[in-house]
Amino acid sequence: MRRTVFAGGLVFDGTGADPAPADVAVVDGRIVDVGVGLDGDEVVDCAGLTLLPGLFDCHVHVTISGVDMLGLAQKPFSYQFYEAARNLRRTLELGITTVRDASGADLGIKQAVADGLISGPRLQISVSLISQTGGHGDGWLPSGHCVPLMVPHPGRPDARVDGPDEMRRVARTLLRAGADVLKVCTTGGVLSPRDDPRHSQFSPEELDVLVAEASRQGRSVMAHAQGADGIKNAVRAGIRSIEHGIYLDDEAIELMLAHGTWLVPTLVAPVNVIRAARAGAALPDAVVRKAEEVVEAHADSVRRAVAAGVRIAMGTDSGVGPHGTNLEELPLMAGCGMSPAEVLAASTSSAASLLGYDGELGRIAPGHRADLVLVSGSAFDLADLAGNIRQVWQDGVLVVDHTARGEVS
């Protein structure tokens, strides 16, 4: 088997340690050695570059390309699948080699990537967003029309439920459809004009059923959770990750620490809603107002969670904002008290742990899959990281090469 050595660069191994000089040897898509002076059949010259593990984004929506409601309603149904192919490619070009889709992508999109029909990060999928009637995922409007962000179809079942029995049925339906993780709304949200992010949704009994059904199939649950009460309901039920966490209070933070619950902040999400509105997107006034109201509270909550030691994994809610701009999240995380090394660890090894890829991804270490990102300049220059990416390797295969033209597309 051919042995490829990435030689002469610095290595950020994903643990949070500073980059250090090292070579990385890869055989058959796996890292087999990390050290100095390694030999190989093929050498990739990494002089002046830093190697990072493939990055993660733990919260994307690959079938959505912006939140202009009128624009979404005017697109042909199948158009979303072609947009997904473009969005996945743009994400891969940023060095993000693994994503968790937080509703939208179905099993066909995941399989198309896995089979090489389209290029993109490997996918974990939740298929549909579980919402109560009148909840964050219910697209009903006062006119009587229903305009969901993601229209149900055979591969993406309707996931509006009320009561424990319906929750059990929908959980099983989504698992049958190929969900790797189940996503539930335990609070209102910014994009749903007729609810409040601070108000809780679903009862503890309903959430207990959901977690039990997921656990029986070896799956976990992620929760869109913005208000403190809904966050605490999710944590007590055993939900693995809190998405957004805008209005954390001290009790919620203590519960997350006690349960080992992850926080996926998506700090850039409300910023992107405000940007879209200013650019002319057709959004209800209530949505724009809520986005403007939550930005500071969101940053303060994440800041306090970081200081307390809550486990953090990187996620962006891309789809709400443009795909291909995901790395804008990293400086925002640093602005909440994380060091650059901690931000990169949250985007690599910590994210891998959240998604169940321990020992497989998120580290540059023997035995791990050879997802590697080669960057120029300082890897800790988070604001310029996207522009400094030179190459992206996935399972030991070069999938993005910006060196040929010297610029990022």
Give the residue numbers marked as catalytic. Answer: 183, 317
Amino acid at 331: P
Q: How far apart are CA 356 and CA 95, in angstroms?
A: 20
Q: On the CB side of 5, how many CA atoms lie within 13 Å of its CA?
A: 16
What count of other Cβ atoms lies within 10 Å of the Cβ of residue 42? 10
Q: How far apart are CA 136 and CA 196, in angstroms?
A: 9
267 in helix, strand or coil? coil
Main-chain phi, psi angles of 124, to 5 degrees: -105, 140
What count of other Cβ atoms lies within 10 Å of the Cβ of residue 154? 8
Residue by residue, DSSP assigns 158-174 as --EE-SHHHHHHHHHHH
Which residues have CB under 8 Å from 108's CB, separation 6+?
Answer: 81, 155
What count of other Cβ atoms lies within 10 Å of the Cβ of residue 275? 15
Contact 207, 184 (CB under 8 A): yes
85 φ/ψ sector (left φ>0, alpha ψ -120 to 50, else beta): alpha
